[in-house]
Structure 1
Amino acid sequence: MSIPKRVRVQAASERASVSNLELFFDLVFVYAMTQVTDLFAHDTSAVNLLRSVLVSGVLWWCWVGYSWLGNIVRADEGVIKVGMFVAMGATFIVALTIPEAFDDIPGGLSGPVMFAVGYFVVRVVHLALFWVVSREDPQLRGQLVKWVPSIVISTTLLLIASQTEGTVQTLLWLAALAGDYIGTMLAGEDWRLRSPSHFAERHGLIVIVALGESIVSIGIGVAALPISWPIIVATMLGLAISGLLWWAYFDVTSIAVEHALDQADGARQIKIARNSYTFGHLPLVIAVIGLSLGLKKVLSYVGDEHHHKLGDALYGIPLFSLYGGVVLYLLALVFFKWYAVRTVTVPRLVAAVVLVALTPLAAALPALVSLGILTAVTIALIAYETTKFADPREQIRHGSNE
């Protein structure tokens, strides 16, 4: 019996671009990241920091599987399109339940259970769609079979975690994420990557989504406050940092890694896709979420005269998130490029060390000054790289057009 055209899958082209449906799919993650930032901002304890990181890891795994799927077949055609919408709905439920993913709010359904069920649906739909795609590809089908245990382990552990609390619950979450990551690593490199350009673009867009969420956090943080010069200065500094982090990723690094991904083949190409992108981009997203919290707290310090004075210092987890977010972002970019290109971006390592060294000083200075120092160091890094490596930068960005 022939398969109706309306439900058939359509292979993606080797130079495919990200589809509108995939962009629509990403909108759910804009909301989800906002929810994580709010979860973190609500309680800036070390325990809640760990919980926020764990939630980010689960959300990332909801997203990343569909980036591989959309690279093999068109996400906006046939049964894949239907599956994408189902996954989008389940992911939105996951996002809605983030505030009670660990501690259930009295009344209604159990938040931890609904979070786990939503995650289970996202993973099952993804596996089912990949199973359909691999029906005429024995190698890919075999890869899926080797990958199934990681799905079973992670989803089962999260479901069990929804029935527990405290330290046991946190440990089960850690085990669930470890099952996903280790299971994916052990499953091998028999995946398919049809379009390196699509894959790189897909991950670049999620970085933009994360950086956009940091800007949203800045706006939300001052929306209810009367405009003032400290608020204007703080928002411009926050926007500058987001723009500089965009520059650090997109100006050269993403292009160089995309070239390496495109030129590699076989197992090496799959390893770059998995390690530089699938694994390597999670720290980038977590870093921006941490930065968002730090920026939000700085804005509250400089704008809310009822609770803070302009000279109050940012300290503890909020300061760690602000400076640590940029440090983690730079280190993640160093790994992202190193694994693919095998070159270490030394200035970024130096900038990360400088920021770590400056953190104790920042804790003793007004929050706005601390933000200014962070911005100054980041500006200095980008300015140095742009001038010092002008010729290689030109070659990477425009050499193919000569």
Structure 2
Amino acid sequence: MEAGRSELLRPPASAGRATFLELFFDLAFVVALSRVSQRFAGLNDDTGWALAAGFGRTLLLFMALWLIWSHTAWITSRYEPEQPVIQAVVVGTMFAGLVMAVALPRAMEERALPFTVAYLMVMVVRPLVVAAALRGHPRRMVPLRLAAWSTASAPLWLAGALGPEHLRTPLWAAALAVDYLAWALGWPVPRLGASVVGRWRIAGTHLADRYQQMFLIALGESILIIGVVFSGTDYSGERAAAFTVAFATSALLWRIYFHRAGLLLTEALDQAARPGQLGAASERTHLVIVLSVLVSSVGYELVIDHPYGPPQVSWLLFVVGGPMLFLVARMRLDYEIFGQIFHPKVIGFVALLLVTPALARSERMVGLSVVAGVLALVALLDALRSRGRPVERPASPIGREASEGPVSEA
């Protein structure tokens, strides 16, 4: 029986690439990310506190979805995706993610309960299934720890879903904080201690694949929005120009992400003495990167709809704020891969920061064009910096040393 349970673990000789099952699983999150964008786009006419509150509520829902997705990525990085039990877990999670996606546009209103139930089924029931499949194996304690912490936060989720609507956001924010804190601390429990994620043995190639794929899914969502919005409005030269600039902006985000650091993520994880530590740091970075792409995609929608609409705080948040957030996260990725931050991203961020006051008084099309110009400058400076030089190799300061204890299978 022990040997059979060990078959659930991903073998050291595994190729590590993402499987078709995981790509199938991602289809539910294509829907989910589109619903997140829909909620963000609904904030177009809001200002002041209403805009901040609406953005915060949508961010909360996105982070709940991200926790489901990232936990699944780590499960398939530690366990063999070809095993029937793991396949059942992934498909079940996909269904729950689809329920959350369907409920998400009104999750803060009348669809709060299905959103919560689907989330708790993944956070509480899924680890119990994995633990049962691993019975007798030392690694079973990790999913049991996760289930214990998720059970502790479950009353907050349910109280938010069933209680007064005005308490939903603070209750869910508290519950989500517990879930993320537990993830960061390794779900510590009395006597058993914690299972620190940074010490896990993982398939670095696989985890890098999953992060890169989720970034591309977010970019795909932005391309879908560009196409759908342009095809659904009356044709005009102004909208065609906005469509072109929006596409160019998405292409520049792709270029900036994959130039060196994004492309070398796999190699960096493979070389790290503690791939789990670097993988955990990269998970947080990609959360921000994916969020920034979604926020930027809403900006494309607003500009294509009304290229020369009046200045509003909401459009500035999406058109300029999204790319600025992307550059910050991309700087962090440079540090994680190379141990340094390169000046083109810093120049781009400072440039957008300096022009923001002027853009607040400009038409939307002007704002998006300036953003595209700044991103093009970043891409050009990146290319010039690398021209004629040896290709940089990963030199991550994260997970380089094994001084904090051995890599763990727990």
TM-score above 0.5: yes
Residue 185 of structure 1 aligns with which residue?
184
1:229 to 218, 223, 237: 237
Query: SS at 1:17's partner residue?
Result: coil
Measure the CA separation in 2 of the matches of 1:388 and 1:47: 41
Correspondence 1:287 to 2:292: yes
Measure the CA separation in 2 of the matches of 1:38 and 1:393: 44
Query: SS at 1:338's partner residue?
Result: helix
1:143-158 equivalence runs, <5 A: 143-158=142-157
Q: Is the 8 A contact 1:313 1:366 kept in 2?
A: yes
Segment of structure 1 superposing worse, 156-165 or 289-298: 156-165
Q: Which amino acid aligns with 1:112?
A: A
Residue 95 of structure 1 aligns with which residue?
101
Query: SS at 2:8's partner residue?
Result: coil
Query: SS at 2:320's partner residue?
Result: helix
Correspondence 1:209 to 2:206: no
Measure the CA separation in 2 of the matches of 1:172 and 1:396: 45
1:2-401 equivalence runs, <5 A: 9=8, 11=10, 13-44=13-44, 45-104=51-110, 111-132=111-132, 134-135=134-135, 137-138=137-138, 140-187=139-186, 188-189=196-197, 192-265=200-273, 268-277=274-283, 279-302=284-307, 310=308, 312-391=309-388, 394-396=391-393
TM-score by length of 2: 0.85
Deviations 1:92-130 (A, max 9, x none): 1111001111111xxxxxx10110001011223431354
Q: Is the 8 A contact 1:210 1:285 kept in 2?
A: yes
The share of aligned pairs that are identical, in percent, is 26
Q: Is the 8 A contact 1:252 1:393 kept in 2?
A: no
- Give the unaligned 5+ runs of structure 2: 45-50, 187-195, 395-410
Measure the CA separation in 2 of the matches of 1:114 and 1:80: 24
Q: Is the 8 A contact 1:103 1:165 kept in 2?
A: no
Q: Is the 8 A contact 1:17 1:201 kept in 2?
A: yes
Measure the CA separation in 2 of the matches of 1:149 and 1:218: 43
1:393 Cα deviation from its structure 2 partner: 6.6
Measure the CA separation in 2 of the matches of 1:180 and 1:91: 17
Q: Is the 8 A contact 2:198 2:278 kept in 1?
A: no
Segment of structure 1 superposing worse, 80-89 or 346-355: 346-355
Q: Which amino acid aligns with 1:198?
A: H
Deviations 1:253-272 (A, max 9, x none): 1233332221112xx32111
1:181 Cα deviation from its structure 2 partner: 1.6
Higher helix share: 1
1:72 Cα deviation from its structure 2 partner: 2.0
Q: Which amino acid aligns with 1:373?
A: V
Segment of structure 1 superposing worse, 367-376 or 39-48: 39-48
TM-score by length of 1: 0.87
Deviations 1:322-370 (A, max 9, x none): 2111111111121223234321233212311221221221121221111
Q: Is the 8 A contact 1:71 1:199 kept in 2?
A: yes
Measure the CA separation in 2 of the matches of 1:287 and 1:160: 30
Measure the CA separation in 1 of the matches of 2:241 and 2:215: 25
1:301 Cα deviation from its structure 2 partner: 0.4
- Give the unaligned 5+ runs of structure 1: 105-110, 303-309, 398-402
- Flag the 1:10–1:33 CA change in 2: closer, same or farther, 3 A: same
- Flag the 1:69–1:221 CA change in 2: closer, same or farther, 3 A: same
Q: Is the 8 A contact 2:229 2:305 kept in 1?
A: yes
Q: Which amino acid aligns with 1:63?
A: W
Query: SS at 1:103's partner residue?
Result: coil
Deviations 1:42-83 (A, max 9, x none): 234221111111111001011111101111223243111122
1:378 Cα deviation from its structure 2 partner: 0.2
Residue 190 of structure 2 aligns with which residue?
none
Q: Is the 8 A contact 1:71 1:193 kept in 2?
A: no
Measure the CA separation in 1 of the matches of 2:184 and 2:69: 17
Q: Is the 8 A contact 1:257 1:341 kept in 2?
A: no
- Flag the 1:143–1:388 CA change in 2: closer, same or farther, 3 A: same
- Flag the 1:297–1:66 CA change in 2: closer, same or farther, 3 A: same
- Flag the 1:149–1:332 CA change in 2: closer, same or farther, 3 A: farther
Q: Is the 8 A contact 1:197 1:262 kept in 2?
A: yes
Q: Which amino acid aligns with 2:118?
A: G
Q: Which amino acid aligns with 1:173?
A: W
1:10 Cα deviation from its structure 2 partner: 6.3
